[in-house]
Every structure is written in C-alpha cells, then in structure tokens.
Amino acid sequence: VIGEVDEPKKAVLRGYRLVFDVFSPSWRGGVANIVEDENNLVYGAVYKINVGQLERLDEAVGVPRIFFRRKVVVEVEGIGSVESVTYLSTSGRGRWVKPSEQYISVLLKGLKQLRYDDDIIQKIKKMATEGQVE
C-alpha cells in the first residue's frame, strides 16, 4: 500500500488462494504465491511504503524474473477496503514446492506478530509443510 496504513495490519485478499509453487534459490525452497480463485481468500499483511521502498521490494522478490506486481483491493482490519499492490509469480510450477524450515519460520512469525487466530496459522503451516490441503 502506498498511503493510508501507518503500521503493518492484518489484511484479507478475496478471490485468490495461497499456494507454494515457486522455487526460490535464496530461500532454498518454495515460497508463497497467490493464484486467482474466486471461492477463496488469502490472509496477510498490508504495509505503508514509499516508492523507493517499493522499488527495493521489487528487486528483493525478483521483479520481473520471478514475480510481477498487481493492484488489488484488500480488506484491512479496522480500516476497510484499501487499494494495494501484491505480487504474483511469473513462474509458478502448478505444483507444491516444499519451503525451507527457515522460510516457514519467518512466515509463521509474521502471522503471529499480526495476532492471527491459531487456526489460521495452523492451516497455513499445514499448507506450507504438507502441500495444498483444501
């Protein structure tokens, strides 16, 4: 998000599904990706960043080689609908790619810091460690 949110907040993106179908050499395993799915949603975070930070984030996630930006509308806790930017993969494999323990740890730590319910955290952990469970 460029504007509107001062600190990380819980956000829900409807019409997409979380998958782990992208291999990251730097993480030595699979990383999170989202795919369109009108009957699903993705739990995450929304941050306020400036254009320079967005450009550095692009570089860190691998734009345009691995991911590309997409404008979306997310539902932000305590705020409502907010236009945001997310990343989708240009190279999703269409099958589960097991994330490294380090990646899973960072992902779950972020969900806990945002105080997501334990059932949501456990569902995402199971998706990351065992593949898609839906």
Looking at residue 94, what is its pLDDT? 84
List pLDDT tens digits, range 20-52: 999 999 899 999 999 999 999 999 999 988 898
Partnered with residue 4 across adjacent β-strands are none
Average pLDDT, the chain: 91
Strand segments, DSSP code E, in 1-127 are 9-24, 29-46, 67-76, 80-89
Nearest-angstrom CA–CA distance, 8 and 91: 28
Residue 1 has pLDDT above 50, yes or no: no
pLDDT band at 93 (very low <50, low <70, confident <90, very high): confident
Nearest-angstrom CA–CA distance, 32 and 13: 14
pLDDT band at 90 (very low <50, low <70, confident <90, very high): confident
**Percentage of the chain modeled with pLDDT above 70:** 93
| DSSP code of residue 100 | P
Mean pLDDT (whole number) for 57-71: 90
pTM score, whole prediction: 0.88
Looking at residue 132, what is its pLDDT? 67
List pLDDT tens digits, range 7-18: 899 999 999 999
Nearest-angstrom CA–CA distance, 103 and 85: 22
Mind giving me the DSSP string for 70-99? EEEEEEETTTEEEEEEEEEESS--SS--PP
Domains of the chain: 9-130 (3.10.490.10)
| DSSP code of residue 28 | T
- Six-digit token string for 132: 């898609």
